[in-house]
Structure 1
């Protein structure tokens, strides 16, 4: 039997809610990618060209610091990885997590929350942060006002 884990980055709590539903449905541990410096509402203002999130996403090499850099993924086969979509990709803090951990030979199933974007070039961008034998697949993007049942149905595909 394969072992799964759910990992998420959530700046405002929406993605964490989806991640918790997935973790509960699949009976996995939930690990939250925690920024060393929490994001404020001002940091997340995508209309402000000088906001923290805008500056991070403008520099694709940006790797915001996280508090829980190393996670024991030994024995894990599939990582359900969730995040809000920022500028048609995952926030660069997700790359920080991926680059700090060994995901060789693992499968990553993405899920995301968004106000209207799809995954865009997320897989392409994240592939640069994992080993070549790591398989990343698009799972599903949920709107910010998702129904719990939609997330549970998505997760049940993997039982």
Structure 2
């Protein structure tokens, strides 16, 4: 009985085949992880905000002036989501509701483009606009464009969380 146990638990010599198996297993793990990460990188958000950053930089001053003009308007939008309806509550600098506006929003995840879609809003009560959309729980961005009754255009990116 003891002889059999000694034979079973006797140390085996470490050969070149053992070393080759360890090296191959190591590189298989490294290559598998790299392929998985590369696949995730190519199938998720591209990270692009503009298609050509050089061309976009040529309009930096105009875009900055427009953002300052919109900021001076003092308009505010508060997003609320509940049961398939995204609501925007719009106020001007004097906290008066913004009425008779045309509002559209491009909704999407901050880091994933597959669920991006556009929502049109309809006015309900004064300064309250609602649009129907089904949003999964998590963080969302809304690129909102508001055209006021006087033709003023206001854009803003709003981030909100759906529970």
Q: TM-score range with shorter-chain normalisation?
A: under 0.3
Higher relative contact order (CA 8 A, sep 6+): 1
Q: TM-score, normalised by structure 1?
A: 0.22
Larger helix proportion of the pair: 2
Larger strand proportion of the pair: 2
Q: TM-score, normalised by structure 2?
A: 0.22
Greater Rg over alpha carbons, structure = 2
